[in-house]
A and B are shown apart, each in its own frame.
Chain A
Amino acid sequence: MFLARFLARRLAQGALIVFLVSALIFTLLRVVPGDPVRLMAGGMAPEALIEEIASDMGLRDPIYIQFGRYIGGILQGDLGQSFVRPANGAAVGGASFDDSTRSERAEVWTLIAETAPMTLQLAVLAMAFALLIALPIGIWGGLRPGGWPDRFALYISSVFVSLPNFWLGIVLALLLSVKLKLVPAIGYEGFAYTILPAFVLAIEIAPFIIRTLTVSVAGVMSQSFIDIAAVRGLTRNQIIFRHALKNSSVPLLNLLGVQFSMLLGGVLVIEFIFDYPGLGLLTINAVMQRDFPLIQGIAIVTAAAFVLINIIVDLAATTIDPRLEY
């Protein structure tokens, strides 16, 4: 029963958030300078033609009407069509203003559906690498606060944090891919192409996980139920693995939720460097081409993903610590 009410409440809240995000993005895109029609049609197109295309596409209607139309579309699962991309692939060049291609422009939904799984794959792998690195270091540091594992955790986090991701990406690509030919780096022709960018991302987020873990494990270890557990006769392994880690996992979960959201929404630099065909690359191109429907679509989909991740994290947290279920 709790679950149903929780989900109903959170999904309603989430829908509201997504609505507000789309309203904000929609308005912002229409007030920034630069006319997308001019870009689409090319600098040479006559003013009258541009006006015609624009009013054809409804771009000269008042914003709230455009927005209403757009939301109506979303409710039917239609995110609109890209201004720039044809259905068959490469972006449409700026110079052609041949109106007949309009009907073959790509569906935003299809574009996102093609690239999102790539980003998801990258994010999951990056998260797995990050946990693999951070869990042992963080837990160990938390179990010996002030000791050398704690200092080690701190130093290694500082090193990781101070490596700029583009630099690390380029260095690793040169070293592992070009020199040693261990893993491929640029573009995407199979799963192996995910490994290097995922590793770079993992190095970027691992310090946050390590930090959160050392703090929360150390905090839990100093609580009285841990102290008393030994007197109650529990073994050290039981104390650490059954009680300490479980109790310190709630802050970790929250952090992982945030990090995962960031991975889904904002791996722009890494996807760009590795030319990885995910949402990040799609976003960069959409922004450079002023492809409003695509930008909007990506924003809405990522906002919805954030909301869902948040709900899942909270649900998992209340399962672990029932006190959070209020």
Chain B
Amino acid sequence: MSLDMVQTKTLLSVRNLTVTLTGEGRDVLKDVSFDLAPRQILSVIGESGSGKTVLARALASWLSEPLAVTGGEILIEGRDLLKDPAYARTLAGREIAYVGGNPAGALDPTMTVGAQLVEKLRAVRPEISAADAREKAIRLLEAVKIPAAERRFHEYPFQYSGGMMQRAMIVDALMSDPALLIADNITQPLDVTVAAQILKLMRELNEDFSTAVLFICSSLPVACDAADEVMVLHDGRVVERQAPDALIDTPQHGYTHKLIEELPTLWAEGRDQAQPQDRDRRAIMSVRGVAKHYETRSASGKALVQAVRNVEFDVFPGDNFGIVGESGCGKSSLMRLLTGLERPDAGSIFFEDENVGEASPKRLRALRRKFQLVLQDPYGSLPPQSAIGAILEEPLKIHAIGNRAERRDRARAAMSEVGLPTDLYDSLPTGLSAGQRQRLNVARAMVLEPRLLIMDETLSALDQTEQGKLLNLFERLQAQHGFTYIFISHDLTMVRQVCSRIAVMYLGETVEVAPNERLFFDPGHPYSRALLSAAPTLEERRYRPEDCLMEGEPPSPIDLPPGCAFAGRCPQAFDRCLTENPRLRSRGGQALAACHLNDPGES
């Protein structure tokens, strides 16, 4: 008998749950109690480390060393999962389904997605025949809007994009008609437009399949968007629980208060971001018609991936230049071109009158002193075996700057500038938190006193509070050292806070380049509008997702359509868009956009 058939008021009830880190004896969850009704969607928010994932794992009976439940009850239908592990096992994957934030490694890479969906359903419900399971999998893949579900059923996980994989994992969770779905940060790895689609989907599924959802996430706007009620977790404790509107209007706890207060906004007017726009200045970096393609082998022989095409923009000294776009749009390939790690196939990249794309390797090394890169991944980009001091001194050594004592002084100075305690000089980076690691990365980039810092998704792994702190740090460093920044990011809210001018990329092209205010209040490209409509925010939206974005994902950069690359998802597309690719044109006031609608002859 399926649990959701039973008429009860509560599906799940958690009583005084305490989870302890057995090694240190520290409690990670303290006395957590809450109820969840059938069909309800409850969001759980809290800062990084507040215990959200631990809660999710405890509910899914998936805690492992060194974490252990040391008190309380988890009642499903009145039976305690903690006292009855056999019962908990029968529920796992059947009545309680879990979807995590990392869909990439969640399925066996050597089996087709379809086969694994069928395998899972038959593991928890052996009475269902393979044919029925297959039919159900395809139906659900269609329900989560995976295009050509029948064919995708037979594809392997590596043939799925991140967004599709996350949808497949949702299908995996829903295969057994679970009574409870635990969704831990499922939109975090996704692009905003895909995340918006997934949220919409989850709501529909909640109605169609009457599944209760525990929706864990670290972004307040997303949590409020998704749920009937929001529960706030702070330092392992439930500090409040309210309906989204009430939570925003009358937050009870200090942490919630602070979270709402510091929430960055997209549309609030009157920010003093406008930089002195003195157009007589020479551009520090000037990019013209840059293109780069890579060769890959595919099933049908060789194929060209057009990673970057027709990219054009100027960055002026003291600018905070933003480059935004979804994953796979070529941001990181562009970054490699800008830093001279790779050479463009066409076009030019001038850095202070020197063409980076054609500079000799020796010149390039010298130039790199003046522009530095800070990477996305705070974990992978630091050598784990070197002490922090040594990491900071390495670039100085490479460029043969100063003697030992001077290098040491400079490293220490950089550490205190980015807010790392100098007594960490001799320790390894392994003990640092994500925020501290990013500070270290920034310090490493700035010891050479560069002119231009390129930040590739530098903040995307950090939570809201930590992001805010680092942005303040960037601002201070800019005032002191006159840095110019290029921020490469998918996060519009962040870009809105810090950037003076912004380029929007879609499938390798810059489709719009505009000053901050202009982009947000008068976007010149339908794709920019789609991005804005999908950005998570608590404010009243200027653009409604229903009007701005059609279902689907960007086409693959291997077989690009002949006309405008956005035509497949653009609500305003017309005949000409299918045959002719629009070029970047001025819209006045330093704003450029590549869309036929801006052509005086059209519209």
A interface residues, Cβ below 8 angstroms from B = 2, 223-225, 228-235, 238, 242-243, 246-247, 320-323, 326
Which partner residue on chain A sits nearest B176 by CB separation? Answer: A233
Which of A224, A228, A234 is within 8 Å of B119, CB to CB? A234
Q: Is residue B574 contacting chain A, with contact meaning CB distance below 8 A?
A: no
A323 contacts B109, C-beta separation under 8 Å: yes
User: Which residues from A are CB-within-8-Å of B477?
Assistant: none
B172 contacts A232, C-beta separation under 8 Å: yes
Name the interface residues of B63-113: CB closer than 8 Å to any CB of A. Answer: 92-94, 97-98, 100, 102, 105-111
A323 contacts B120, C-beta separation under 8 Å: no
B297 contacts A225, C-beta separation under 8 Å: no
B interface residues, Cβ below 8 angstroms from A = 60-62, 92-94, 97-98, 100, 102, 105-111, 119-120, 123-124, 156, 158, 172, 176, 297, 299
Known: A231-B98, A233-B124, A238-B123. A225 touches B60 (CB 8 A): no
In the assembled complex, the Cα of A243 lies from the Cα of B120 at a distance in Å of 12
7 contacts between A and B (CB under 8 A): A223-B105, A231-B93, A232-B93, A232-B97, A321-B109, A321-B110, A323-B109
User: Which residues from B are CB-within-8-Å of A321?
Assistant: 109-110
A322 contacts B110, C-beta separation under 8 Å: yes
Report the minimal beta-carbon distance from A242 to chain B, rounded to whole angstroms.
7
User: Which residues from B are CB-within-8-Å of A232?
Assistant: 92-93, 97-98, 120, 123, 172
User: Which residues from B are CB-within-8-Å of A230?
Assistant: 62, 92
Known: A242-B119, A323-B156. A225 touches B106 (CB 8 A): yes
User: Which residues from A are CB-within-8-Å of B123?
Assistant: 232-235, 238
In the assembled complex, the Cα of A89 lies from the Cα of B156 at a distance in Å of 57
User: Which residues from B are CB-within-8-Å of A326?
Assistant: 297
Report the minimal beta-carbon distance from A323 to chain B, rounded to whole angstroms.
5
Report the minimal beta-carbon distance from B521 to chain A, rounded to whole angstroms.
43
A228 contacts B176, C-beta separation under 8 Å: no
A322 contacts B93, C-beta separation under 8 Å: no
User: Which residues from B are CB-within-8-Å of A243?
Assistant: 108, 111
User: Which residues from A are CB-within-8-Å of B106?
Assistant: 224-225, 228
Which partner residue on chain A sits nearest B93 by CB separation? Answer: A233
Which of A2, A234, A246 is within 8 Å of B299, CB to CB? A2
Which partner residue on chain A sits nearest B157 by CB separation? Answer: A225
In the assembled complex, the Cα of A243 lies from the Cα of B156 at a distance in Å of 14
User: Which residues from A are CB-within-8-Å of B297?
Assistant: 326
In the assembled complex, the Cα of A230 lies from the Cα of B106 at a distance in Å of 11
B92 contacts A224, C-beta separation under 8 Å: no
Known: A2-B299, A225-B107, A326-B297. A231 touches B92 (CB 8 A): yes
User: Which residues from A are CB-within-8-Å of B105?
Assistant: 223-225
In the assembled complex, the Cα of A34 lies from the Cα of B362 at a distance in Å of 55
Which partner residue on chain B sits nearest A243 by CB separation? Answer: B108
Which partner residue on chain B sits nearest A324 by CB separation? Answer: B110
User: Which residues from A are CB-within-8-Å of B100?
Assistant: 228
B158 contacts A323, C-beta separation under 8 Å: yes
Which partner residue on chain B sits nearest A325 by CB separation? Answer: B299
In the assembled complex, the Cα of A31 lies from the Cα of B390 at a distance in Å of 55
Which partner residue on chain B sits nearest A232 by CB separation? Answer: B93
In the assembled complex, the Cα of A323 lies from the Cα of B98 at a distance in Å of 27
Which partner residue on chain B sits nearest A322 by CB separation? Answer: B156
Report the minimal beta-carbon distance from A146 to chain B, rounded to whole angstroms.
12
In the assembled complex, the Cα of A91 lies from the Cα of B172 at a distance in Å of 70
Given contacts A233-B94, A246-B111, 19 further A-B contacts (CB under 8 A): A225-B105, A225-B106, A225-B108, A225-B109, A228-B98, A228-B100, A230-B62, A231-B92, A232-B123, A233-B92, A233-B93, A233-B120, A246-B108, A246-B110, A320-B110, A321-B110, A322-B158, A323-B109, A326-B297
